C-alpha cells in the first residue's frame, strides 16, 4: 500500500504538502512522551517564543493547534467575532472561497468582494466600503495573503494603509497558509490582528499544526467574542500558558520536535534568505512558463506569487491530464486546477525546503509532460530561461565548508 514508489524520488511540486527536510524527518522519528513531564513544556516554551519570528511579531501570542489550515481559520474567526458580525472577504480563488464559505457557516454577515480568478483582492472596493462604514459595522477584514489556487499574492500593506487612513477599527485577519515562512510577511508592521499558517506548507513539516498568532487587539476581542468554540478556544491555551504547562489537551510530540528542527533550519538559513530564495525560485518558474509560451493565471505582475504558479493551458488541453501524466510517467506531483479553473490550469508549487536543481528537474519534467500531451514545447526552453536567471542569482550555501 505504497504507490509513490516508482524508481527514484517522488518530485513533489504541489503547493503543499511540501518536501520535508531530512533533519525534520530525523527529529520526528521518535517514540511518544508524557506531555505533562517537565520536558515538553520546556520545549514548548522555546517554540512559542521562536515561532513569533516567522510572523515577524514581538507582541503577538501564538497558538499551536493540532489541526489543519481549515481549523486555524476557524480558530481565527470564532475567537474574535460574534455571530452576525459583518466581515469583508475577498473571493479570488478556491481557498478564499472556502474561507468565505466557512465564515458564512459560522453565521457571520460576509460582505464578499469578488474578483476574477487570477486577479488579486480588489482593494479599491475595500477602500470605498471602509470609507462608507462610518459606524464601524465592519468587524473584520478577512484576506488570504496568497491564494494557492491561482498563485496570487495580495498586498497586505495596502490593506493596513486603508484601515489607518479611515481610522477604521476592523480586525485584520490574514490567511498566511501558503505565504508565511516563504513570502515577506510582517505581522506587527502591517498591524495584522490574526495571522495563521499550516505546518505542511513553507515550514516543510507534515500536516497537523495550525499555527495561529493573535495581536493584543485580537486577544482583547476574544474576551467578548460570542462565537461558540471549545477545541479552538484561545482562552484554554492562555490558561495553561499561565500555568507553564502550555497544553489544554494532548499535542503531537513528534510535531513539536519537528517544529523545533524546522525553525532551527529556517533560522540557520536566515528567514530573509529563505524569502529571497522563494523569490528566486518563483521568478525562475515564471521565466520558464513564459519561455514555453504559456500564460500565468495571475493577471498582473504585482500579484505574482513566489510560492505557487498556476499555469494556463491552451483551450484544447485538459490540464488534469497533465497532472495525471506527470504523476504516472515521471513521478512528478503537480497541482490540479481547482473549481473555476479546473481543467484550465495546472499548478507548480515552489515553496518550502527546496532548491534550484529540484526546481529545474521539475521544469524539465513539465516540458516532457507538455510534449506528451501534444503541446509543442521546445525542450530545454523553460529550463534555459530559469537557469540563466538562477545561475546569476543563486548564492553560495553559507553552511558549506
- Binding residues, as ranges, are 347
Rank residues 105 and 165 by Cβ distance to a second copy and give the closer one.
105
- Which window, 85-93, 105-113, 132-140, 298-306, contacts a second copy (CB under 8 A)? 105-113
Q: How far apart are the C-alpha atoms of 47 and 26, rounded to whole Å?
A: 18
Q: Binding of a second copy at residue 365 (CB under 8 A)?
A: yes
Least distance to a second copy, CB of residue 281, Å:
10
Q: Binding of a second copy at residue 27 (CB under 8 A)?
A: yes
Task: Starting at the earlier edge strand, list the strands of the sheet with 295-296.
Answer: 295-296, 308-312, 345-349
Rank residues 20 and 213 by Cβ distance to a second copy and give the closer one.
20
Least distance to a second copy, CB of residue 30, Å:
6
Q: Binding of a second copy at residue 371 (CB under 8 A)?
A: yes
Least distance to a second copy, CB of residue 242, Å:
17
Residue 29 zone, left/alpha/beta (φ > 0; ψ -120 to 50; rest): beta
Rank residues 155 and 358 by Cβ distance to a second copy and give the closer one.
358
The three grid cell numbers given for residue 290, joined into one nine-digit string: 513564459
Q: Residue 97's Cα: distance from chain center in Å?
A: 15
Rank residues 62 and 120 by Cβ distance to a second copy and give the closer one.
62
Q: Binding of a second copy at residue 259 (CB under 8 A)?
A: no
Q: How far apart are the C-alpha atoms of 138 and 328, rounded to whole Å?
A: 48
- Under rule CB under 8 A, which residues in 149-188 are in contact with a second copy? none
The three grid cell numbers given for residue 234, joined into one nine-digit string: 484561545
The three grid cell numbers given for residue 351, joined into one nine-digit string: 515553496
Choose, by CB under 8 A, the member of 122, 155, 207, 299 that binds a second copy. 207
Q: Binding of a second copy at residue 243 (CB under 8 A)?
A: no
Q: Do the Cβ atoms of 188 and 56 come closer than 8 Å?
A: yes
Choose, by CB under 8 A, the member of 3, 134, 223, 376 that binds a second copy. 3
Number of residues engaging a second copy in binding (CB under 8 A)? 124
Q: How far apart are the C-alpha atoms of 376 and 380, rounded to whole Å?
A: 12
Q: Binding of a second copy at residue 49 (CB under 8 A)?
A: no
What are the DSSP calls for 86-148, one per residue? EEEEEE-SHHHHHHHHHHHHTT-EEEEEE--BTB---HHHHHHHHHH-TT--EEEEEEESEET
Q: Binding of a second copy at residue 107 (CB under 8 A)?
A: yes
Q: Is the peptide bond between 17 and the residue preceding it cis, with omega within 30 degrees of 0?
A: yes
Q: How far apart are the C-alpha atoms of 349 and 17, rounded to whole Å?
A: 9
Residues in the annotated binding site for substrate? 347
Greatest distance between any 2 Cα atoms in the chain: 64
The three grid cell numbers given for residue 291, joined into one nine-digit string: 519561455
- Which window, 5-13, 127-135, 160-168, 213-221, contacts a second copy (CB under 8 A)? 5-13
- Under rule CB under 8 A, which residues in 374-393 are in contact with a second copy? 378-385, 387-388, 390-391
Rank residues 115 and 254 by Cβ distance to a second copy and give the closer one.
254
The three grid cell numbers given for residue 21, joined into one nine-digit string: 527536510
- Under rule CB under 8 A, which residues in 60-79 are in contact with a second copy? 66-71, 73-74
Least distance to a second copy, CB of residue 169, Å:
25
Task: Give the x/- contact pattern for a second copy in 309-348, rule: CB under 8 A.
Answer: ------------------xxxxxxx-xx------------
Q: How far apart are the C-alpha atoms of 192 and 174, rounded to whole Å?
A: 7
Amino acid at each position: 500500500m505504497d504507490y509513490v514508489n516508482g524508481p527514484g524520488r517522488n518530485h513533489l511540486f504541489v503547493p503543499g504538502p511540501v518536501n520535508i527536510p531530512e533533519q525534520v524527518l530525523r527529529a520526528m522519528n521518535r517514540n511518544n512522551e508524557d506531555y505533562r513531564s517537565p520536558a515538553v513544556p520546556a520545549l514548548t516554551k522555546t517554540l512559542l517564543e521562536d515561532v513569533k519570528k516567522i510572523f515577524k511579531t514581538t507582541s503577538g501570542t501564538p497558538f499551536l493547534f493540532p489541526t489543519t489550515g481549515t481549523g486555524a481559520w476557524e480558530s481565527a474567526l470564532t475567537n474574535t467575532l460574534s455571530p452576525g458580525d459583518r466581515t469583508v472577504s475577498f473571493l479570488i480563488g478556491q481557498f478564499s472561497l472556502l474561507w468565505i464559505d466557512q465564515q458564512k457557516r459560522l453565521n457571520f454577515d460576509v460582505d464578499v468582494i469578488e474578483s476574477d480568478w487570477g486577479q488579486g483582492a480588489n482593494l479599491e472596493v475595500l477602500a470605498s466600503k471602509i470609507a462608507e462604514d462610518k459606524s464601524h459595522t465592519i468587524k473584520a477584514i478577512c484576506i488570504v495573503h496568497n491564494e494557492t489556487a491561482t498563485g496570487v499574492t495580495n498586498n497586505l500593506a495596502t490593506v493596513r494603509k486603508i484601515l489607518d487612513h479611515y481610522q477604521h477599527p476592523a480586525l485584520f485577519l490574514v490567511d498566511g497558509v501558503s505565504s508565511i515562512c516563504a513570502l515577506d510577511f510582517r505581522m506587527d508592521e502591517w498591524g495584522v490582528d490574526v495571522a495563521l499558517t499550516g505546518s505542511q506548507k513553507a515550514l516543510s513539516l507534515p500536516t497537523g499544526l495550525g499555527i495561529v498568532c493573535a495581536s493584543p487587539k485580537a486577544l482583547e476581542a476574544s474576551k467578548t467574542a460570542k462565537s461558540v468554540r471549545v477545541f479552538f478556544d484561545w482562552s484554554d491555551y492562555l490558561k495553561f500558558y499561565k500555568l507553564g504547562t502550555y497544553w489544554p489537551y494532548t499535542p503531537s510530540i513528534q510535531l513539536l520536535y519537528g517544529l523545533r528542527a524546522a525553525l532551527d533550519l529556517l533560522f540557520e538559513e536566515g528567514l530573509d534568505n529563505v524569502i529571497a530564495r522563494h523569490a528566486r525560485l518563483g521568478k525562475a518558474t515564471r521565466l520558464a512558463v513564459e519561455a514555453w509560451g504559456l500564460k500565468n493565471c495571475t493577471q498582473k505582475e504585482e500579484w505574482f506569487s513566489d510560492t505557487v504558479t498556476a499555469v494556463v493551458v491552451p483551450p484544447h488541453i485538459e490540464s488534469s491530464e497533465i497532472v495525471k501524466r506527470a504523476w504516472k510517467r515521471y513521478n512528478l506531483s503537480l497541482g490540479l486546477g481547482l473549481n473555476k479553473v479546473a481543467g484550465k490550469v495546472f499548478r507548480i508549487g515552489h515553496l518550502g525546503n527546496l532548491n534550484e536543481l529540484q526546481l529545474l528537474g521539475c521544469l524539465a519534467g513539465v516540458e516532457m509532460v507538455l510534449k506528451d500531451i501534444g503541446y509543442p514545447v521546445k525542450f530545454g526552453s523553460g529550463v534555459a530561461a530559469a537557469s540563466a536567471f538562477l545561475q546569476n542569482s543563486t548564492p553560495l550555501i553559507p553552511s558549506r565548508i
